[in-house]
Structure 1
């Protein structure tokens, strides 16, 4: 049986865990787990990239809810279904490392982000960072989002490709709400560096060789680190503002000490990446469903008009106040259904720190494992007519009757997305501005092809039209 390269440390010493490349189980250690090796050298990599959801569906039908596949240079064991989600995400027995699961993908560009920390280290930093999501700063973000979104979407009348437009807007909003930097040349430089980092995180060439995406990403990270380091020191001297970065810069740990400067830099860089990509994906998916489901679009418009009072006498949308966010219940249900249909993170990797059993199989320590959120969100074990868009699945009684881990677009357990309420807020404000101005339309029968992985996005950019009310 495979063992980790070093004895497993106490849980409160996550920095002592072996690196993710140490202690990989041998073929013999997982010979009893069913699955497929695929082609020599490449395994099933290209099959998974070509159709990840179809591949998972076929593997579950063939081998069951625990199976192995060789891809991306090694064996991976998939644990499928709501029960698997609960085991891995709740992580009651501290079996799974998020740091070592995500490390191979994100280490070079977004190291030591909150998602890449485990146990006590994660808990301490998460508690310190949570100050940025308390009511007072959230009210500030709400005001910034209302003004920033209103300014931009006022010019969206007519046909457009929504995905690049919302991607650009989300970056500008991050510069404002996250970093407290006004729109302009400096924000543009940061956005360019940031986009290079995000693109490099999923680049097939993983070394920063000249002229590669990884080289641009590594250079982008160097620029961001230099800028953010300088800003942390400045904001601590001058006293921070209400933006998220200033909140992080002045956050304190349990003993009252400030977070280390490099920790603030890494957390801010990672959070911008996580928020930008997932909100862009989710907002794009939401626009698709509203454009192709006009009856639901009208129901949400009615709710928004009832809460805001509708446009003012000059026809300008009224802003959505922080206190009114919770009143958009149907809008939130529709957004939750969007994330069920198109989860922004379709799967999540982990690494086992010790032997465990699931589904009748023993999985050895050191093994790369993962859960598949998309499969669970589309399984008829948990959902009636799972490929039909129906926000009424999220009424309180139906949520209570369903397995708690059947819907996990924000993860779960200790690693539940720290910014989930910010995501709800940004999408609700976006929708309030759009639906008070426009009717969202798509051509009859429109069904774009989606890039399903690593984060869903329509290959054509999502062709929709905003028609003034």
Structure 2
């Protein structure tokens, strides 16, 4: 377990991302490697981050340092490390200063980039958007939107990832913003795509012709759009979509959230929701196709809850009140999230010195945890590279380390929209499985691009065969 080292005010990390980082001498006692001159291990990590992490753990142990992206980072690997960092009992770690170097130009002041009191106040204000009545409204919009789109997918081989990405963006325009699918939604979606691509672009300045330039321009468009819309919705009264809920969100003292913060939260939420749900829905569809016995079990569970196809030959909607009845479906989704977590690793920065794994980590150290490694750690998972939803029966969950499975994070920063993610995926399967058998070609095993959010390199070739 970790213990705090003596802390002095001077140890508090500065606001700027690189100022105050520990010197090479301060980290000399931590094993690891610096990689190539100038670039360090950056390209090795980007080429195959999972293989890189495995090699580093095998060579140096579960606490190691690596130089990448311009400086040293200390990796803390294991379920205990996940608990230390995510629960953050002693307020050692800063989310803002961990994610900031990656996301601050494009998604500043999102919940994931906030710390402590500010984060807690904004999270409580925004949680109104995930109360039962708004969620009930979203479920209706999801059923309508998904049913209309998947009806077009019958009996042709298709690339699932780009199809579900477009659908997820359109669903976000409907459920999140409350606008119909069409040119306005397409323009908003395009801006988000550019922002997400730019967040991990190697050129970090918005020079002409670069991804960062497109991302910054996309942000400018969305800031202008959401600012005008926030003013309008406050004047006219909000609707039931998520943006209207945010626009009228109040703090505990009854004051409205500043408009620029509403805008930043909306930008961040759209990014976090659509890319992670796209990734996790894609991995689940692949595993259900690769493990047809599980596909059939889930199909029968859904039919037993919804009644399957109606008299018109179309799947019946999955009601909001029935979401909790799909136990096997939820277990399969959790297993897909274990196999391919949509956020494979999480960066932080130490605000205080601390001890972990026998090492002293000085204040100011950029550090992070690796979800993917722990999700495949044989200490917690038998045969970890095999898809097996039965890992998530209540007795097995109770017996396992609480932080061995953390696709939604944990502690105060647990994903605010996790129940929305469960709902969207369950409704997707409820519209798909009663009418289609999901198939892939024999022996098909797509390669996955692991960074920044996993996706199949070939788009995932699947066929939805009409039953």
Q: Could you state the TM-score of these two structures normalised by the residue count of structure 1?
A: 0.97
User: Structure 2 CA distance, aligned partners of 1:324 and 1:234?
Assistant: 35
State the SS of the aligned residue for 1:464: strand
CA contact (8 A) 1:56 1:375 kept: yes
In structure 1, the partner of 2:338 is 340
Kept in 2, the 8 Å contact 1:4–1:18? The answer is: no
- Tell me which residue corresponds to 2:375: 377
The answer (yes or no) to whether the contact 1:240–1:246 under 8 Å persists in 2 is yes
Instruction: Report if the CA contact (8 A) 1:5-1:22 is conserved.
Output: no
Give secondary structure in 1 for the equivalent of 2:67: strand
Which residue of structure 2 lines up, in the alignment, with residue 50 of structure 1?
47
**Structure 2 Cα separation of the partners of residues 153 and 304 of structure 1:** 16
Q: Which residue pairs with 2:434 in the alignment?
A: 436
Partner of residue 286, structure 2: 288
Select 2:141's aligned residue among 144, 165, 176: 144
Structure 1 residue 194: Cα displacement: 1.1
- CA distance in 2: counterparts of 1:207 and 1:341, whole angstroms: 35
Q: Distance in 1 between matches of 2:150 and 2:384?
A: 33
The residue matched to 2:90 in structure 1 has which SS? coil
Taking the aligned partners of 1:250 and 1:110, their CA distance within structure 2 comes to 21
Which position in structure 2 is the counterpart of 1:268? Answer: 266
1:278 aligns with 2:268: no
User: 2:278 & 2:140 partners in 1: Cα distance?
Assistant: 20
Question: Which of 428, 443, 464 in structure 1 is aligned with 2:462?
Answer: 464
* Separation in structure 2 between the aligned mates of residue 193 and residue 37 of structure 1, nearest angstrom: 36
1:315 and 1:5 mapped to 2: Cα distance?
68
Q: Which position in structure 1 is the counterpart of 2:231? A: 233
Partner residue, 2:118? 121
Contact 1:95 1:354 in 2 (8 A): yes
Instruction: Please tell me whether the aligned partners of residues 98 and 116 of structure 1 are also in contact (alpha carbons under 8 angstroms).
Output: yes
1:17 positional shift: 5.4
CA distance in 2, matches of 1:262, 1:274: 18
Give 1:18 deviation, angstroms: 2.1
Look up the SS of the partner of 1:253 in the other structure.
coil
1:29 to 26, 29, 36: 26
Tell me if structure 2 keeps the 8 A contact 1:4–1:366. Answer: no
Residue from 31, 38, 41 that aligns with 2:35 = 38
SS in structure 2 at match of 1:62: helix
2: CA distance, partners of 1:310 / 1:78:
47
The DSSP-based 3-state class of the residue aligned with 1:155 is helix
Post-superposition shift, 1:19?
2.3
Query: How far apart are 1:56 and its partner, in Å?
Result: 0.4
Task: Report the Cα offset of residue 106 of structure 1.
Answer: 0.2
Matched, 1:200 2:198: yes
Distance 1:7 1:235, change over 3 A: farther
Q: Distance in 1 between matches of 2:365 and 2:8?
A: 12
Are 2:106 and 1:109 equivalent residues in the alignment?
yes
Please name the residue that 1:402 is paired with: 400
Distance (whole Å) between structure 1 residues aligned to residue 414 and residue 342 of structure 2: 14
**Residue 121 to residue 17, structure 1, CA distance change in 2 (3 Å):** farther
Contact 2:439 2:465 in 1 (8 A): yes
1:186-225 superposed matches below 5 A: 186-225=184-223
User: Equivalent of 2:181, from 166, 180, 183?
Assistant: 183
Question: Offset of 1:376 from its aligned partner?
Answer: 0.2
Tell me the secondary structure at the aligned position of residue 338 of structure 1. helix
Counterpart residue number, 2:3: none
Partners of 1:133 and 1:23 lie apart in 2 by 39
CA distance in 2, matches of 1:188, 1:42: 37
Q: Tell me how far 1:5 sits from its aligned partner.
A: 12
| TM-score normalised over the length of structure 2 | 0.97
Q: In the superposition, relative to structure 1, how do residues 8 and 35 fare at CA in structure 2: closer, same or farther (>3 Å)?
A: closer
| Paired residue secondary structure (2:348) | strand
Structure 1 position 454, deviation (Å): 1.4
Q: Secondary structure at the match of 2:188?
A: helix
Matches of 2:284 and 2:7, distance apart in 1 = 43
Q: Which runs of 5+ in 1 are unaligned?
A: 10-15
Tell me the equivalent position of 2:317: 319
C-alpha displacement of 1:50? 1.0
Spell out, residue by residue over 1:232-265, the C-alpha distance to the aligned partner (whole angstroms, 9 max, x if none): 0000000000000000000100111000000100
Moved more, 194-203 or 323-332: 194-203
2:271, 2:265 → 1: CA distance? 10
Aligned 1:443-458 pairs, distance under 5 A: 443-458=441-456
For 1:138-160, what per-residue CA distance to the aligned partner results, in whole angstroms no more than 9, with x for missing partners? 00000000000001110011110
Determine the structure 2 residue equivalent to 1:13: none
Q: Residue in 2 aligned with 1:95? A: 92
| Correspondence for 1:243 | 241
Tell me which of 139, 153, 158 is aligned to 1:156. 153
